[in-house]
A and B are shown apart, each in its own frame.
Chain A
Amino acid sequence: MTERLDHTPSVAPVRGPRSLIFELGAPESRCVEAPAIDVPLASVDALLGGRARTEPPALPNVTELEIMRHYAHLASMNFGVDSGMYPLGSCTMKYNPRVNEDAARLPGFTGLHPYQPEETAQGALELMVGLSDALAEISGLPGITLQPAAGAHGELTALMLFRAAHTAAGDPRKKVIVPDTAHGTNPASVAMCGWEVVTIPSDARGLVDVKALKAALDGDVAAFMLTNPNTVGLFDPQILEITEAVHAAGAFAYCDGANLNAILGKARPGDMGFDALHINLHKTFSTPHGGGGPGAGPVCATAELAPYLPGPLPVAFEAGGFGLGWPEYSIGRVRSFYGNFGVIVRAYAYVRALGAQGLTEVAEQAVLSANYLKVRLQDAFDVPYGATCMHEFVMSGGRQKREHGVRTLDMAKRLLDYGFHPPTVYFPLLVDEALMIEPTETEPLAALDAFADAMLAIAREAADDPELVKGAPYTTPVRRLDEAGAARNPDLRWTPPSHGIR
């Protein structure tokens, strides 16, 4: 519970949001000013052909101290991996090593312009080739593009490769099959690729219903998308039968690599028969999530699909040195330049730090930690699927809802009072009141135990004092929000109180 202050402060502590940055400063306040103009200056309006602004944009005018205090206060209202355990299922919120941050900030990387001659960017190109080679080995798929900016972008890129290959074979297709446990990005990517989504149910074990899959696989199916291990934390042991059936129907098998952390060095999607895979560098390869991004979603593909990869790609020349090149039948670009290079640097550093043995240990510890937490919690909560999980597992808050009227959302909010970020909730959709827990390998045993203790305490609170849980959180910078009101009357920006300069 809330710790009580042992004295009465003279000023009430500020918990929630204070000022907007627009409410700070004064019209004459400055932080960074433009350098003096050392060339002749004609009228800017004339230079722009009469296009000068008639009214300045309503930007804040603040001093440096105000900026630093403002963002220090905002940061104090945020919870990150450094703040405490962040067991957000399917998001792999592992520790972000700081040497990787330092590396990405080296001037030799940050100052590089994408159109510099290749001979002045040999280090960057070598690094990109190095990460590409490592991802090919880890995935068992030889064709790599580092271009996609995020997992969803990688999914779409892979679907575009499938489209190109089907078209080249004179066999354009219309549908993509996804299981009901799929991340929302999967069907959304299918739609952006102009294809129709066919959803198949999972079986009673939470795995692919192979019979339903085979029934759905007709000559119009372009691909089957599967997250493996899947989103209930299970490795699908039917995987070879699945990919074989997909191929027999002339379709491609796609692996959503969001859960690759579980199988690093233990098994490879390429060996399972997958034709393409995206990897979330911001999950498995330790690059930070940045409050929502940037991440990176490289795609790994078979030799058959490699000629269609988006360009340009980093290449190592046989005669030595590195450059950029286009695959023979490239689908074209999927973004500007070559990828989220700053993210690529961090992931490369991670791979080099750990090597083959270290990466394998990552998977082993991630899986052991998840199973340990599951064992500690499985008596207090319903665990609908599976004896052994991979790197994450899904519980249900159904018992607490039925018996005490306490919902998963309430328990998630109560966890905030105990100093933990909640797990992913209400996903996957097929589990009632789902709680999806992914501890990652970077949590010490003491943290795992403290989290389990907190969950067990909340289960007891749900039974003994349900209103306490339903009113949570109590200790956070703000309490539960009026989310319905936010959507009903959208206030999406600050508006200046009057026109013109504040």
Chain B
Amino acid sequence: MRYTPVACEQREAMLRAVGVSSVDELFEVVPAEVRLTAPLDLPDGIGEIELASHLSALASANTPAQGLVSFLGAGCYDHYVPSVVDHVLTKPEFFTAYTPYQPEVSQGTLQAIYEYQSMICALTGMDVANASMYDGATAFVEAAFMAARVTKRHRVLCSPTVHPEWQNTLATYAESGVVELATFPAVEDGLTSLSDGARGLAAQLVGGDVAAVLVQSPNFFGNLEDLAAISRVAHESGALLVVATDPVLLGIMEPPSAYGADIVVGEGQGLGSGMSYGGPGLGIFACRTANVRQMPGRIVGRTVDVDGNRAFVLTLSTREQHIRREKATSNICSNHALNALAAGVALAALGQEGLAGIARTSIAKAHYLRERLIATGRFSAPWDVPFGYEFALSYDGDVGEMQDELLSRGYLAGASVADIEAEWPTGVDEQLAERLVLFAVTEKRTRAEMDAFATEVASL
């Protein structure tokens, strides 16, 4: 009876109105062989007070990054979530609404998404953005599929420096045969190698059958790829350039559009969504106007109502599954609208200066920590290339033991590259990968914390 407000007496009246003597009669259409005769084997229901206490106990059985000093990133970042974000998200008119199919009573969601799309265009430099995908990895896959439709080619080339989980996701989807995934294990100085003989990107593009070149910048190692050069060779072969990027850095970094990107995707979790053990995130997806009719997902457009008032509506729906079924650009229906709303509110709260400041601060602190860690003598730089607020260093001992020890002293000492690579290789030399640790530094870390961390490292 917890969430079912119909009283017993009312239920009797409803049964009489329907013309049955019991609820079970309504289920007689279910064949007796499959009708359950015993209750499900589940724990008994509990009241709200016991439930709240049980969930608090489960939450307390975790040691969240907030209780530690965290340098973990690798695709999920501990950026500050502005206070206003949750105050907006918890408005029931937003979070208890469905997809805005009835625009007359959904202008709040629709306008907020239109504003989100505008902000993503401003950040990425692209012409149009959709209303969101599930996360960065699935947006990345959808970009590969879209590129195949646009170019009417089949083969997609994925840089080995893309996050291993994203490469793994793309490979899973490519089993469908909708695209043929080609990887080229050529990494040089933590960057996509263009010219490493037959293995390099340029050689892979000979033949002119490639739909898309997919790169990530900053890449899995935090390094900034040479997008201008990659763009040149990709476009020379008639392939589209798909760039995955970090929207926070775009507050201060030149957008992928400046290098000729055709599709820009990214993980938007850092914009207003907490880490929440990795989900829900926010799949950012933007492209050029010429290809908008091949774009997956929902899109909000501006129009007018019969009185001539400005109004917003889901548009270009003939791309979508509920209209086109098997000919749709994607099967996506539910997206991550509330995370898109969070990103819009966070970007409004930060503004131009705030977002640039967050990016600048994170970059400065990351470069500071890198120097401090190298100065301990325990870490060394595997390469010297530009990066944002995440970088890889090589440790001179056992990475797992180092992380365990520092955890006991209150630190999440970065991410082990070998651990993440275990499910998909990046192309970096295996012996080097064993020693590599990825450190991310957001605006939330302080110099005092980094100094103390470096001191602990030096004492190992």
Contacts and interface: CB of A to CB of B under 8 A. Distances in A.
A305 interface: no
A124 B312 contact: no
Contacts of B419: 115
Contacts of B67: 111
B354 to A, nearest CB: 5
A68 B88 contact: yes
A266 B361 CA distance: 57
Given A32-B350, A37-B360, A367 B321 contact: no
A21 interface: yes
Interface in A29-74: 29-35, 37-42, 44, 47-49, 51-54, 56-62, 64, 67-68, 70-74
Nearest to A156: B331
B455 interface: no
Interface in B254-285: 254-255, 267, 274-281
A97 B47 CA distance: 12
Q: State the majority secondary structure of interface residues on A.
A: loop
Contact of A490 (B98, B292, B446): B292
B190 interface: no
B4 A20 contact: no
A117 B67 CA distance: 14
A301 interface: no
B458 interface: no
A113 B71 CA distance: 10
Interface string B86-101: 1110111111111111
A483 B104 contact: no
A420 to B, nearest CB: 10
Contact of B59 (A51, A108, A282): A108
A114 to B, nearest CB: 3
Contacts of B401: none
A267 B30 contact: yes
Interface stretch (A208-216, A459-467, A472-480): A472-480
B251 interface: yes
A494 B115 contact: yes
Interface string B404-428: 1001000010010001100100000
Interface stretch (A1-9, A81-89, A246-254, A397-405): A81-89
Nearest to B301: A486
B92 A442 contact: no
B90 A101 contact: yes
A189 B321 CA distance: 9
B68 to A, nearest CB: 8
**Interface residue range, chain A:** 35 or more
B316 to A, nearest CB: 6
A99 B287 CA distance: 40
Interface string B282-318: 0000000000100000111111111101111101111
A70 to B, nearest CB: 8
B303 A491 contact: yes
A191 B326 contact: yes
Contact of A291 (B60, B98, B309, B450): B98
Given A38-B446, A163-B175, A336 B137 contact: yes
Interface stretch (B196-204, B230-238, B364-372): B364-372
A263 interface: yes
Contact of B276 (A160, A237, A342): A342
B17 A372 contact: yes
A354 B254 contact: no
A304 to B, nearest CB: 19
Given A113-B65, A335-B138, A124 B58 contact: yes
A360 B406 CA distance: 49
Contacts of B78: 111, 113
A486 to B, nearest CB: 4
A35 B304 CA distance: 42
B364 A337 contact: no
B30 to A, nearest CB: 5
Given A57-B122, A80-B92, A492-B299, 5 more contacts: A75-B91, A80-B97, A240-B31, A288-B338, A352-B51
10 contacts: A47-B364, A48-B363, A71-B112, A103-B59, A115-B72, A138-B42, A149-B280, A364-B26, A485-B304, A492-B299
